[in-house]
Amino acid sequence: MRKIGLLFLVIILAMGVLPMTPAMGQGGDGPLAPPPGTDLPLVEVAYQADFTDATQWPAGSVTGIEFGAVDNGYRVNSLSPDGGIGITPPIDFSIDNFYSEVSFTIETCQVPESALLFFTRLTPNATSATQTDTYVFVLECSGSYRARSVVAGTPSDIDAQGRTPAALEEGSQHVMGVLMVNNSVSWYLDGVELATFDVLAPMRVEGVLALGAQRGLTYTATALRIWSLDSTTANGALGPDVGTTDGGTPLSDDPLHQSDGVGSLIYDPNLGQPGSIPAGFSHPVATLVLGGNQVGMYNTESTAILPFEGVQGSDYYVEVVFATRACTDASLIGLVWRASEDLSSFYAFGVQCDGSYRARLITPDGASDPLASGTVTPPPLPETGAYTLGVYVKGNTVWLYYADNLIGSFSDDTLTEGTAGLLLQSDPATAKAMDIVALSLTVAEVK
């Protein structure tokens, strides 16, 4: 679910310098950074920077960094060779999967470690380092590069690192490109593929983008573009069973991604705040606050539901963003909706760790035959990044989402209203639980 706000606040991450451990310009309609012939799943340019727009690209300074428009672009100046990370005002544009290119000219490298920073999937409206999650790309004047997650202001392990074919010299012009599809990343510079890799640590599935610098680099960004992606290509092939039951709405009808698909949030607990959800290990869904607005969860019963307090109605959109820590093929994470107060009747949609999914009606008489079923790729396995599971409910029709893509729908009139919640399930014949990290739990109005 995209949450876009006014993002004119400058954020400085109070974490110091990201440590290093073990002549092109923007033009034309297509990308310039990848090697010639690279096939990218692009749909259209969704954002193109206008550096003369002082609202989107203001001039200013904070400790250690200055930024502002110049005749040929937008200058970013890290003042000190010992300076830590500086971020310019984030772009007022939130996106999940994307390809973006930045064209820039190196002006001054005070030390070889002077570096350009490119922040992606950045927490919107964060006001402190401890509120900030992002995925950052670091490109040094020496030619060294690295990429890593930052969670609650703390850098995670490096996912990719290496050296460019040549150092970035003063006066040189470059084009850097980044493709992010779920937890898969490709990084390009001046027609060379620097790295293609999967992010293993949990990370945000969407966010805003921002430029930055550290350790005395001055550069001018001359162009910045963001492309939206072909969701079908980006998410991989769906299994052959994906579809609707008789009477369902065709998959081409995707209400979530319409401009007026969702309204105000009606449930959005701060997962980093104790008491925002039931805590402890004695509940059917055991919870433990991990920090960084993340909560560890596992089921203490073979089937366990965490009801979303205060949610009651007939039409809404329910979403969980999560990463799995441990599961078996039969373990399942899901959502319930229109649930009775005693949780004896509800609809449920879940995805197993083997990639199979199903939606069913549950009543005191038992479970119905699947209302929708199929297979998703990739499955939500441990150490493969974060995933999104969503259910859009309106009238007698339900749309099912995985990784922000519509994968199925069905129609049923049995239950008309009730609460929503999170479902964790595992094989009762084993002692293994479905163990996840929840990054967000939300319910929104539907239009």
User: Do 42-233 and 236-446 have matching folds?
Assistant: yes
- What element of type H or E holds 394? strand 387-394
d(CA 359, CA 392) in angstroms, rounded, equals: 13
Instruction: Report the pLDDT value the prediction gives residue 321, as an integer from 0 to 100.
Output: 93
Q: Which residues contact 25 (CB under 8 A, 6 or more apart)?
A: 103, 173, 175, 222, 223
Task: Give me the chain's average pLDDT, please.
Answer: 83
Structural domain spans, the chain = 42-233, 236-446
Listed in sequence order, the residues at least 6 apart from 302 whose beta carbon sits closer than 8 Å to its beta carbon are 425, 426, 427, 428
Q: Which of 176, 236, 175, 180 is nearest to 208 (CA)?
A: 180
CB 370 within 8 A of CB 358: yes
Neighbours of 426 (CB within 10 A): 25
Q: Is the pLDDT of residue 274 over 90?
A: no
Q: Residue 11: which of 122, 94, 127, 93 has the closest Cα? A: 127
Sign of CA dihedral 150, 154, 157, 158: positive
Q: Which among 215, 31, 210 is positioned nearest to 136, based on CA atoms?
A: 210
Task: Write down the pLDDT at residue 10.
Answer: 31
> Taking 80 as the threshold, does the pLDDT of residue 298 lie above it?
yes
Decide: helix, strand or coil at residue 362.
strand
Q: How many helices (H) and strands (E) does the chain have?
A: 1, 31
- pLDDT, residue 5, reads 29
Residues 207-225: tens digit of each pLDDT? 899 999 999 999 999 999 9
Was domain 42-233 assigned CATH 3.10.620.30? no
Reported as a single tens digit per residue, the pLDDT across 342-397 is: 999 999 999 999 999 999 999 999 999 999 999 998 999 887 888 999 999 999 99
Residues near 169 by Cβ (< 8 Å), separated by ≥ 6? 106, 109, 141
pTM of the model: 0.51
Multiple choice CATH, 236-446, 3.40.640.10, 2.60.120.560, 1.10.1040.50, 1.10.1200.10: 2.60.120.560
151 within 8 A of 292, measured Cβ to Cβ: yes
Q: What percent of the chain has pLDDT over 70?
A: 85
Distance from C-alpha of 290 to C-alpha of 233, rounded to nearest angstrom:
34
The distance from CA 222 to its chain's CA centroid, rounded to whole angstroms, is: 27
Of 364, 399, 388, 370, the C-alpha closest to 438 is 388
User: Closest Cα to residue 267, out of 389, 420, 443?
Assistant: 443
3-state secondary structure 181-206: ECCEEEEEECCEEEEEEECCCCCCCC
pLDDT in tens, 142-173: 999 999 998 888 888 898 999 999 999 999 99
On whether the CB atoms of residues 202 and 295 are closer than 8 A, the answer is: no
Residue-wise pLDDT for 112-125, tens only, equals 999 999 999 988 87
**Model confidence at 204: pLDDT above 70:** yes
